[in-house]
Structure 1
Amino acid sequence: MDRNLSTQLAAIATGVGVGVAIGWLLRAKIHHSLAKHLGNKSKEMAEHAFDEIMGAECKLVIVVRSDLKMGKGKACAQSSHAAVMAYEQIRNKKPILNLWRASGQRKVVVKVDTEEELLEVEREARKAGLVTSLIRDAGHTQVSPGSRTCVGVGPGPTQLVDKVTGHLKLY
């Protein structure tokens, strides 16, 4: 075999080997970060979460109460509060943050008819291991102080977020 060809083949084999090793190290690091993020939840849940997000897109869904009859500007402000709070909660959770950024930081706004529905969505999201950001209004303008106006679900794996919010209509 030509010496130049064998040098090239050795370089390719080394590159593939290094690539596989880096891939396994990154997988282990992301898996560890997820397990840490999920806290006391089981190892199986961490593995399931890892499988859910690898290669998946992420999104943030903001659920707004329509029964409060907020004006468009008020609903936008409340949704912005939910988005900022959601970001604050994940800014140190690099795997989810990076996947959300890579997915274009997608945000979708949907609606529910009652406070009870809003709180049920939040409970289901928490049970699924998703980040939630429940917003209570200060009451300076259109709604009573302490009114729960919206909840952010995620950012999280689109498939998992959709299990909780996919049935809701766009705002």
Structure 2
Amino acid sequence: MAAPVPLDRLPPTTTAYVIATAILAGVTGYFIGQGSSLHLFKEKQGWPNGYDVKVHRDSSDEEFEEESEAEDSEDEGNGEELADFKENAEEVKLVLVVRTDLGMTKGKIAAQASHATLACYKYFITHAPDSPILRQWERMGQAKIALQIKGEDELLTLQAQAMSLGLCARVIQDAGRTQIASGSRTVLGILGPKSVVDGVTGHLKLL
């Protein structure tokens, strides 16, 4: 009797492919993990998680070092000028008034405006941590707007006007290690009820 003719081999099923892929991935992961633990792979330096991030051309390491030394120029304030605005029911906002006559780059402006934002916040936290103005600003999204001004004298005039109305008004001075002269007043931050702040800065143009 003749031997039976073998049937054609059946193709692998989807389940077989999934199992084979899982086994391959597991083995590969194991060896990669062993290699990493033995420091066989060179890690990229400078940024967390090894990402190779390119710094914007308007920025530099020197500038970032310098930015950390910018200071609030009115540290002698004691918070007595701050009004509580207890009956305020309108939006609270932070206006950042930026000097355009200094020729600051966009990165520089962003850093100085950040300093002004923190200066206003820290001033409230230090002198009036329970201020309803601060709490309302925090709850409603921390509204911010950037405006422009052309000189230091007008900047200081606006600060004095804002403080006389009970607003938080902080000026930032630059350390002067890169683009501009040491002690230059770069940005004024004003935090308070929208209508009161607009009474001081409403005539200024958007940055």
Using the size of structure 2 for normalisation, the TM-score is 0.57
Q: Which amino acid aligns with 1:82?
A: A
Query: Paired residue for 1:157?
Result: 193
Structure 2: distance between partners of 1:86 and 1:108: 14
Are residues 85 and 38 of structure 1, via their aligned partners in 2, closer, same or farther at CA, if it must alter by over 3 Å? closer
Using the size of structure 1 for normalisation, the TM-score is 0.69
Confirm or deny that 1:144 pairs with 2:144. no
Q: List aligned pairs for 1:1-171, cutoff 5 A.
A: 39=80, 49-51=85-87, 53=88, 55-91=89-125, 92-154=129-191, 156-171=192-207
Q: CA RMSD in A?
A: 2.0
CA contact (8 A) 1:90 1:96 kept: no
| Structure 2 SS opposite 1:110 | strand
Bigger CA radius of gyration: 2
In proportion to residue count, which structure has more helix? 1
CA contact (8 A) 1:59 1:103 kept: no
Structure 2: distance between partners of 1:136 and 1:87: 17
1:71 deviation in Å?
A: 0.4
Q: Which amino acid aligns with 2:124?
A: I
Structure 2: distance between partners of 1:38 and 1:67: 30
CA contact (8 A) 2:81 2:167 kept: no
> Taking every aligned residue pair, what percent have the same amino acid on both sides?
43
Q: Which amino acid aligns with 2:197?
A: V
| Structure 2 SS opposite 1:101 | helix
| Structure 1 SS opposite 2:200 | helix
Deviations 1:104-123 (A, max 9, x none): 10011101011111111111
CA contact (8 A) 2:174 2:181 kept: yes
1:161 deviation in Å?
A: 0.7
CA contact (8 A) 2:81 2:166 kept: no
Uncovered stretches (5+) of structure 1, i.e. residues with no partner: 1-36
Aligned residues: 127
CA contact (8 A) 2:120 2:189 kept: yes
- Runs of 4+ residues over 3 Å off in structure 1: 37-41
Deviations 1:98-150 (A, max 9, x none): 11012210011101011111111111101111011110000011100000001
Are residues 94 and 127 of structure 1, via their aligned partners in 2, closer, same or farther at CA, if it must alter by over 3 Å? closer
CA contact (8 A) 2:162 2:168 kept: yes
Are residues 38 and 65 of structure 1, via their aligned partners in 2, closer, same or farther at CA, if it must alter by over 3 Å? closer
1:166 deviation in Å?
A: 1.0
Are residues 146 and 98 of structure 1, via their aligned partners in 2, closer, same or farther at CA, if it must alter by over 3 Å? same
Query: Paired residue for 2:26?
Result: none
